[in-house]
Chain A
Amino acid sequence: MAFFEMTDDTGAVRPCYADVRRWVDEVGIEELNARLKEAETIFRRIGITFAVYGEGGDPERLIPFDLLPRIFPASEWRILDRGIRQRTRALNAFLYDVYHRGEIIRAGIVPGELVYQNRAFEPQMIGFDPPGRVYSHIVGIDIVRTDEGKFQVLEDNCRTPSGVSYMLENREIMQRMFPELFGASRVAPVDSYPNDLLASLKEVAPAGASGDPTVVVLTPGSFNSAYYEHSFLADLMGVELVEPMDLYVDDDKVWMKTTRGPQRVDVIYRRIDDDFIDPLAFRADSMLGVAGLFGAYRAGGVTLCSAPGAGIADDKAIYLFVPEMIRFYLSERPILENVPTWRCALPDECAYVLDHLDELVAKEVHGSGGYGMLIGPKATRAEIDAYAARIRASPADFIAQPTLDLSTAPVLGRQEIVGRHVDFRPYCLVGKQMRLVPGGLTRVALTEGSLVVNSSQGGGVKDTWVLDE
């Protein structure tokens, strides 16, 4: 039986949920369901959608929203906060290391071939020092819990983790619709995030930049699924939202085309994958990208956030070694655990995985978004056999984890409060200093029993509260 976050094992409501539980009883389930419709109308009108082109149906969809907040008491957040910051420091230290001397590989902790032969490793970054030695400026760490005090990291996101706009909008809409709820509870605010992001980005401006560096958000364009978030963040930071065609490189400096002529750009928060930022450096066939951008970056004319090649740190094969990284670089004990993971690249572990596929979750090392995974206990015999054949064909591309007994959080059902599985993604910012707002995005698998929280596969979102002391 999964840990239900609203109650303790005697069935009593945990103190952090007491106010919300009372509020639900006062307002009533039926009324709350009516208010949920209202919330959806607001989301739709404001245009908080994600784009799904080419699949038929509505090309701009809403992410389902649940009205009941997911709540962390201060004592739990203290642990999470320390654990998230610790992990973020280790990941950036690892990135610096693998693009320089590779001490962790020399020490025999991480196998060299996992790094140097990895698609996410960017040889052109070797020997380059990004400003502040920061590679990943926004680190999103996906965390699940399996028991009262037990948090585990499912995966790291070091490139351009998305979803932070939902953290902000979910809070905004909850405060707008239910101000009374916030009067009673002491909910830590998250609205400093855009300012924190801007401050972090300005702190990593190149040495030659002016006193007040010009920051832009680089988006692939309005057909990208996360376009709403890109425009939302640019808007809240008060910076330009640019597309590749708005930028050009001259003399290793980056300029944006404005109605008044060229304007110098110092820091680019790019929401475009490595492959597509510069056709000269990476994929020559890319229609996206700014020719010469990588050269300008290497010459110190502009800072790219995140750095090209940062993805090596969040690769699923590297994930296994993050607790070791924490010990190696920080000489600390890891605060957040990993989920136990078997690597099919190792023959013994692969044999175990193949024997136990019906009870494991198997994943592609390079997959994302919940695609290409097998949830053993829910799969048919034929699906398992087909997946096993794929693992045998290229074992190194797969890992497996036990089926976790993920915690459930209270969700508004038609007649009552129900428990649904959740995960949690906080967003840790890294400039000269580290910043972490108390909160993050809680994703929820709205289908009963489902473990898949991805919005592309029927997941929803809910507001996440951290209670002050």
Chain B
Amino acid sequence: MLSRTAGNIFWMARYIERAESTARLIQMGQRMTILPGPIHREEWRSVLRVTGCDGLIDSDRPVAEADIVRLLLLDEGNPSSIRSCLLRARANGRAVRTALTQDMWEALNEDWRRLEHYDVTSARRNLPELIDWVKTRASIFRGAAETGQLRDEGHDFLRMGGAIERAEMTLRLLDVKYYVLLPETAVIGGGRDHYQWTSVLHALSAARAYHYVYGGGDYTPWRIADLLILNPKFPRSVLFCFEQIGWHLDRLARGHGRHGAAHETAARMLGDLRDRESGEIFEEGLHQFVVNALAVTNRLSREVAEGYHFN
């Protein structure tokens, strides 16, 4: 396979996931701000911060929902916006048309200019619907790949890109919580803290899984971190994503007859995650853990590109 094709597929999957993760972030931010309180503007600021868009709004003024909708949903000039991600995913797909199934292409192509028709006001009015639309597109795309795509190396690059981005999304969402509330408390305190943690779970569609795994009852930061980072069965957990990454890297190594730096990085991270307990993460500091883990996903992405010559 052409290296450029592999790169396009890898990044196409990442952009689709990133569009979805940004949609989930906006959803979570909205949920958090519903709760009245003196510092509620900080939620939107933290959403901006974890998407790397903090610098786009002066730090001395509060960030409003309208800013978020403009910057993270509609702005074609902001490479992190949902609109940019969807356009780039489609452009990448168009550049490798012959490597996609018809269904995958249609998932990218369907109504691809929709966000052009909204301004901030109309988008805010239809925000839940737009968020759902973005999530649905990502789901249809993944579904088309799941049941239709030939299991050649293109599929490995697609799944790997998706898994890396999904791991990053989970880590970023955890970090929003960190920025909003300092320091982490041992016990989940009053209504506000409780509500924020459950917002994280909701944004990851993890609330039901949480109750199922931990038998309902109290929310504790340890359990939530355990679910979102270390649980091998929850498909958005960091460990689960890394297992997927490792599986696809192994398949590529068998097909190509060689390992690279990416394989070592993924294996080391996997070993590390399997050996850990959530308590240790809190001892180290959740934020520090997130920073370190994001450095690993960054490095991994770079090493995959280098190893398969699409850097």
Contact = CB atoms under 8 A, between A and B. Distances in A.
Interface string A239-266: 0111101100000000011111100000
Contact of A258 (B1, B98, B106): B1
A45 B2 contact: no
A101 B70 CA distance: 67
A259 B109 CA distance: 27
Contacts of B98: 231, 234-235, 241
A235 to B, nearest CB: 4
A450 interface: no
B106 A259 contact: no
Contacts of B3: 246, 257-259
A152 B109 CA distance: 42
Interface in A64-108: none
A231 B97 contact: yes
Interface in B84-136: 91, 94-95, 97-98, 102, 105-106, 109
A237 to B, nearest CB: 11
B109 A47 contact: yes
A50 to B, nearest CB: 13
Contacts of B310: 257, 259
A258 B91 CA distance: 20
Nearest to A221: B95
Contacts of B309: 257-259, 261
Contacts of A256: 2
A259 B95 contact: no
Contacts of B102: 46
A258 B154 CA distance: 12
Contacts, number: 45
B91 A243 contact: no
A234 B3 CA distance: 17
A222 B1 CA distance: 18
A222 B2 contact: no
B4 A245 contact: yes
A291 B4 CA distance: 18
Interface in B294-309: 308-309
Contacts of B109: 47
Contacts of A221: 95
Interface residues of A, number: 21
Contact of B91 (A222, A234, A242, A245): A222
Interface string A207-236: 000000000000001100001000100110
Interface string A189-221: 000000000000000000000000000000001
B106 to A, nearest CB: 7
Nearest to B1: A259
Contacts of B6: 259
Contacts of A240: 2
B105 A243 contact: no
A268 to B, nearest CB: 14
Nearest to A240: B2
Interface string A35-54: 00000000001110000000
A257 B95 CA distance: 16
A356 B94 CA distance: 49
B72 to A, nearest CB: 25
A258 B2 contact: yes
B256 interface: yes
A260 B256 contact: yes
Nearest to B98: A235
A47 B94 CA distance: 10
A240 B99 CA distance: 10
A241 to B, nearest CB: 7
Contact of A259 (B94, B97, B105, B308): B308
B250 interface: no
B2 A47 contact: no
Interface in B240-281: 252, 256
Nearest to A259: B308
A256 B1 CA distance: 10
B127 to A, nearest CB: 27
A46 B94 CA distance: 12
Interface in B1-50: 1-4, 6
Contact of B256 (A227, A242, A245, A259): A259
Nearest to B7: A259
Interface of A: 45-47, 221-222, 227, 231, 234-235, 240-243, 245-246, 256-261
Interface of B: 1-4, 6, 91, 94-95, 97-98, 102, 105-106, 109, 153, 252, 256, 308-310
Given A231-B97, A258-B1, 9 more contacts: A46-B102, A222-B94, A222-B95, A231-B98, A234-B98, A240-B2, A242-B2, A245-B4, A259-B153
10 contacts: A47-B97, A221-B95, A222-B91, A222-B94, A241-B98, A242-B2, A242-B4, A259-B153, A259-B252, A259-B256
